């Protein structure tokens, strides 16, 4: 089933790109960048999330296609901006480009997102979807700005972390779910409920990624860049005495760009995380957000069979 849907998405993307009449190299970069960051090889995860939200409320594939493709372009643009700003994920196609070209690519993708949703035949619905995308862009940009501010701070609270995670990761999944529900013809209360489901889905996935990336010193720059991921924030708020001072000294060394964060220091951070229960705390918070997502789905007044794909998203995250 997904293979057939993927072919439909490819066809729709071909139509949008043909209409745009881009330079051949720009078009090639867009095509190789789409799905490049999929950890499992799954294609069009943003388009599929938008489509599943539409189906959850009884909508049809044809109605959601412009929003699904628009969401795919939009999410990729934000990923590129994020990676350029963080100087992260160096194996991605856009990170092989000079930063100026990568930014230009991301801007083009934002415009293609608008081009895609412009084919929504109902003008009122087009305006609604356009507003959802714009507000999500504002929210995600504000979350990214917060992250930059927090990178330079010695202390960040749990409340600040979860607000930032909601604005960055949560807003994107909420956007896809909201667009899908709106294009599926759902009532406003149902659209809002699926938006909240998406918010929690995004946060729980961010928690999982934070934990996985925290110790990946060779592939990720999170610790060295003093990114306030959940494990980092947990240690900042729980360490006491000598351990707190040692952790503070290590983080300040990274912020100043000093040398000396070698294997000995990496092993110390690994051991500290194990002793202080970082993994346990992140797992508990992950389960809390999973449960929130499940409860929201249970309360949505649509047939249970329509919710199954959305429930599966939560199960797959575990």
What pLDDT does 207 receive?
A: 96
Question: In total, how many domains does the chain have?
Answer: 1
- The answer for residues whose C-beta is within 8 angstroms of residue 121's C-beta and 6 or more apart is none
The predicted structure's pLDDT at residue 258: 47
Whether the Cβ atoms of residue 247 and residue 231 lie closer than 8 Å to each other? no
Are the beta carbons of 144 and 172 closer than 8 angstroms? no
Quote the CA–CA distance of 71 and 308 in Å, as a whole number.
22
- 233 and 150 Cβ atoms separated by less than 8 Å: no
Listing DSSP states for 87-123 in one string gives T--TTSGGGGS-HHHHHHHHHHHHHHHHHHHTT-S-H
> What does pLDDT average to over the chain?
91
Place of tokens 């990214």: 144
The model's confidence at residue 141, banded by pLDDT at 50, 70 and 90, is very high
Q: What does the alpha-carbon distance between residue 143 and residue 162 come to, in Å, rounded to a whole number?
A: 10
Residue reference for tokens 């939560």:
314
Confidence bin at 50 (pLDDT 50/70/90): very high
Place of tokens 């867009």: 30
pTM of the model: 0.92
| 44, two tokens | 């069009």
Torsion sign (Cα): 107, 37, 165, 308? positive
Which has more pLDDT, 197 or 224? Answer: 197
Mean pLDDT computed over 7-30 = 96
pLDDT tens digit sequence for 93-118: 999 999 999 999 999 999 999 999 99
Task: Reply yes or no on whether the pLDDT at 285 is more than 50.
Answer: yes
For the four alpha carbons of 276, 279, 280 and 286, in that order, the dihedral sign comes to positive
Reduced to 3 states (helix: H, G, I; strand: E, B; else coil), residue 58 is coil
CA-to-CA distance for 98 and 111, rounded, in angstroms? 20
Alpha-carbon torsion 256, 257, 263, 266, what sign? positive
> Which structural domain range is residue 254 located in?
2-317
182 or 219, higher pLDDT: 182
Q: If you search the block for the tokens 């881009």, which residue do you land on?
A: 22
H helices, E strands: number in the chain:
14, 0
35/287 Cα distance (integer angstroms): 27
Tell me the CATH number at 51.
1.10.600.10
């Amino acid at each position: 089933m997904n293979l057939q849907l993927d072919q439909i998405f490819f066809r729709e993307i071909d139509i949008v790109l043909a209409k745009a009449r881009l330079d051949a190299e720009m078009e090639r970069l867009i095509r190789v960048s789409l799905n490049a960051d999929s950890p499992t090889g799954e294609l069009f995860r943003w388009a599929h999330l938008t489509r599943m939200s539409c189906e959850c409320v009884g909508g049809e594939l044809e109605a959601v296609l412009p929003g699904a493709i628009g969401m795919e372009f939009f999410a990729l643009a934000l990923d590129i901006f994020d990676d350029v700003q963080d100087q992260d994920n160096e194996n991605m196609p856009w990170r092989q480009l000079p930063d100026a070209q990568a930014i230009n690519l991301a801007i083009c993708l934002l415009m293609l997102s608008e081009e895609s949703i412009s084919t929504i035949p109902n003008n009122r619905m087009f305006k609604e979807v356009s507003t959802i995308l714009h507000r999500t862009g504002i929210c995600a940009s504000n979350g990214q700005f917060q992250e930059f501010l927090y990178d330079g701070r010695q202390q960040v609270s749990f409340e600040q972390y979860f607000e930032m995670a909601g604005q960055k990761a949560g807003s994107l999944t909420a956007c896809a779910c909201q667009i899908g529900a709106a294009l599926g013809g759902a009532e406003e209360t149902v659209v809002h409920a699926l938006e909240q489901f998406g918010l929690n889905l995004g946060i729980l996935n961010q928690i999982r990624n934070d934990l996985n990336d925290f110790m990946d010193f060779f592939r990720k720059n999170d610790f060295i860049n003093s990114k306030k991921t959940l494990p980092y924030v947990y240690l900042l708020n729980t360490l006491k005495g000598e351990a707190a001072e040692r952790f503070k000294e290590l983080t300040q060394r990274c912020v100043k760009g000093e040398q000396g964060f070698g294997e000995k220091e990496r092993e110390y951070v690994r051991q500290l995380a194990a002793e202080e229960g970082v993994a346990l705390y992140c797992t508990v918070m992950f389960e809390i957000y999973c449960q929130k997502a499940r409860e929201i789905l249970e309360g949505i007044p649509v047939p249970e069979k329509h919710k199954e794909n959305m429930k599966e998203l939560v199960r797959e995250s575990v």
